[in-house]
Structure 1
Amino acid sequence: MRTVLAACLLAAATPAAAAEVCSAWRPAENIGQLDTSVVNEASGLDVSAQFPDRLYHNNDSGDGLRFYVSRMNGQDARTVEIEGPKPVDIEELSLGPCGDEGQCLYLGDIGDNPARRDEVAFTIVREVENFPDKVTPLRVVRARYPDGAHNAEAFAIHPDGDLYLVTKPADRLMMNPVPAKVYRLTATQLRATDQVQTFEKVGEIDLPKIMGTRPFPGSIPTAMDISADGRRVILLTYMDALEIGLDLKNGLPPFEQWTEGKDYRVVELDTLPQQEAVSWLPDETGFLYNTELTRGAQTAPIKKVACGG
């Protein structure tokens, strides 16, 4: 009995092996359409694990402090207002743990095309089964980068409660591709509201090298999500997606140490115009993505990509 117990304790203490990426992704399929009368510039997306048949969305810059709830097919969308001042540029949202409050929705006011903002902000709202028309946020966390302003459209919450953000390394002329930087705010920092928090840089993602001969938009990260077990990242670009089989809590080694088919795989997509929203499915069998160009659009599909290997 002691031998069995010792073996069990040893197994529990042994770190989990690194996740390997999907061996083959299937072609994208339509699973629904955005309700463009409500979600008319879709820039963020997440799938609820607590409440079946539920998606969360946010619109891009110019919108107020609010989010949208719809069914998985994008229909029956409704608006939930959040108390607080009008944001600068909410680009992304993410579901994740928020301490004793359970699961929360994080809205990231992180857009900064000219890269001039002194700080960005994250508004945190507890996820509930029935949202009223207007909610009070749990808190708003302000943050700054340690090395000056950055434009960003992609962040996600790790299952351990930390937040990871990937910069959008592009100038206005879209002429100078460089690696994207990855920053972290810890779960402890996300519970603080008394001062501006400072991101910690944890690595880089060399999208120009990874995406190879694709045109420049294929190297620009527009959205991200972290799998429920924390061991995989899906990073959307304007053209395709990148699956990363590395847990961000361990930092990111230089790209030269990554192995294709194990640590990463490029996922070729049915490219949508201005695609800026992505989310893992809760069971991690695939992911969803959609388009931002919905104003006046006749169709605004929600696409599903499933792992087929």
Structure 2
Amino acid sequence: MADDTGIYKFGALVCGTFVLVAAATFSFEADKGGPSRPKRAAPVQVESALTSVKAARTPRGTLVCTVQGSTRPLGDEVHESSGVAVSGAHAGIFWTHNDSGDPLLYAIDAQGRTAGTVRVTGAQVQDWEDVSRAPCPGGNCLFVADIGDNQAARPFVTVYRVREPAPGDTASAPAEAIRLRYPDGAQDAEAMFVLNGAVHIVTKGETGPIALYRAPVGAGPGAPSTLERIRNVTPDKVKRSERITGADASADGRWVAMRTLDDVVIYSAAELTGSAPLSPRRVSVKGLGEKQGEGIGFTPDGSMVLTSEGGKKEDPATFARLGCTQS
């Protein structure tokens, strides 16, 4: 939650259910032999339970995030912005895309203005839902997740890996199609991140628990490779406002951020991809007034950018920033 400065700080309580607290900004410290407790006394109001799993330990580190300014409109050509990635080669450039139409990536600047339109060579669009940037041999690659499946009926999904283009390019280098199938039947997902040489897909949580799957980046081309189901992130399906619509991993591999329509939820990457109990931290972005928040991407310094689809014709897609520091 935010204090009157707009600063968010979030942590986890051990020996109990993780909860959101509505109070002034504070961090947590662990007393020897006892549970974590606030550094200074403050009335604590329980707002909502995020998970019923007890935390085994207090996660090391803290993220402090503040919304920087207000949302900025995107151009009409990206009315359905479904994902966002921060360029690794061009300072001040961010990549986004629509979830339908032509296989195009849009370069946008920090003001939300379109700085270039690039056709992804060899790619098709069934339902593009996310994009991430990650290292690849010789430089940076963009991973475009054609993973949407509202009817949970696709026999496989596709992640396109392509060398990051320049904003002034009209077409990319040929994309590699990484075809993936789920081990337990088709799933609807809108979120993907790349971490430790593997593509990770996070399901929405609409018809069952939010679940995490992964496959090595080298999987494909050719016949679809089978994803590995890593874990359930929630014990059951979630309400609409808590469904996962985008994800990204920090450049240092320390954090994974997932977003919903209303919140950004941050996990320790080691916890999330392992078997330890989860102790997420959550910050509300409802104050941005996004029409349909979908995209999230980490900047090199650990801050984040957010994009939203537009609403009605007169409501454009939007771009926003979260400034974050970590310890």
User: What TM-score results when the alignment is normalised by the length of structure 2?
Assistant: 0.74
- Code of the aligned partner of 1:76: T
Aligned twin of 1:151: 188
Among 212, 215, 223, the alignment partner of 1:182 is: 212
Residue 91 of structure 2 corresponds to 52
The answer as to whether partners of 1:246 and 1:252 remain within 8 angstroms in 2 is no
Check conservation: 2:79, 2:316, Cα contact below 8 A. no
Q: Residues 137 and 195 (structure 1 numbering): CA distance in 2 closer, same or farther, change over 3 Å?
A: same
Q: TM-score, normalised by structure 1?
A: 0.78
Structure that is richer in helix per residue: 1
- 1:193 pairs with 214, 217, 221, which one? 221
- Identify if the C-alpha distance between structure 1 residues 45 and 295 changes in structure 2 by more than 3 Å, giving closer, same or farther: farther
Counterparts of 1:91 and 1:45 in 2: how far apart (Å)?
A: 10
Change (3 A) 1:279 1:216: same
Q: Residues 237 and 216 (structure 1 numbering): CA distance in 2 closer, same or farther, change over 3 Å?
A: same
Which of 134, 148, 151 is residue 111 of structure 1 equivalent to?
148
Identify if the C-alpha distance between structure 1 residues 141 and 134 changes in structure 2 by more than 3 Å, giving closer, same or farther. Answer: same
In structure 2, C-alpha distance between the alignment counterparts of 1:258 and 1:143, rounded to whole Å: 26
Is the Cα contact below 8 Å between 1:21 and 1:232 reproduced in 2?
Answer: no
Q: Which protein is richer in strand relative to its size?
A: 2
Structure-1 residue corresponding to 2:4: none
Given the alignment, which residue of 280, 300, 322 partners 1:282?
A: 300
1:1-309 equivalence runs, <5 A: 20-22=61-63, 24-27=64-67, 29-30=69-70, 32-35=72-75, 37-60=76-99, 62-84=100-122, 86-98=124-136, 100-129=137-166, 131-158=168-195, 160-171=196-207, 178-189=208-219, 192-206=220-234, 216-247=239-270, 250-253=273-276, 257-259=277-279, 264-269=280-285, 270=287, 271-284=289-302, 286-293=303-310, 296-307=313-324
Residue 4 of structure 1: aligned partner: none
* Aligned residues of 1:223 and 1:237 also touching (Cα < 8 A): yes
Q: CA deviation at 1:297?
A: 3.0
Partner Cα separation in structure 2 for residue 232 and residue 53 of structure 1: 22
Between the aligned partners of 1:144 and 1:44, the Cα distance in structure 2 is 21
SS in 2 for 1:221: coil
Q: Which runs of 5+ in 1 are unaligned?
A: 1-17, 172-177, 210-214
CA distance 1:258–1:156, shift in 2 (3 Å): closer
SS at match of 1:26: strand
Runs of 4+ in 1 over 4 A off after TM superposition: none
Counterpart of 1:125, as a letter, is V
**Structure 2: runs of 5+ lacking an equivalent:** 1-58
Change in Cα spacing, 1:227 to 1:207, as seen in structure 2 (3 Å) is farther
Mapped to 2, the partners of 1:28 and 1:240 lie a distance apart of: 16
Q: CA deviation at 1:130?
A: 5.2
- How far does residue 94 in structure 1 lie from its aligned partner after superposition? 0.8
Distance 1:288 1:147, change over 3 A: same
**Residues 81 and 138 of structure 1: CA distance in aligned 2, closer, same or farther (over 3 Å):** closer
Separation in structure 1 between the aligned mates of residue 242 and residue 87 of structure 2, nearest angstrom:
28
Q: How many residues align?
A: 267
**C-alpha displacement at 1:164, in angstroms?**
0.8
- The Cα of 1:84 is off from its aligned counterpart by 2.8
Q: For residue 241 of structure 2, give the secondary structure of its aligned residue in structure 1.
A: helix
Q: Conserved in 2, the CA contact under 8 Å of 1:28 and 1:306?
A: yes
Distance 1:19 1:163 in 2: 25
1:162 maps to a residue whose letter is A
Report the alpha carbon displacement of residue 308 of structure 1 after superposing the two structures with TM. 5.9
Higher RCO (Cα < 8 Å, 6 or more apart): 1
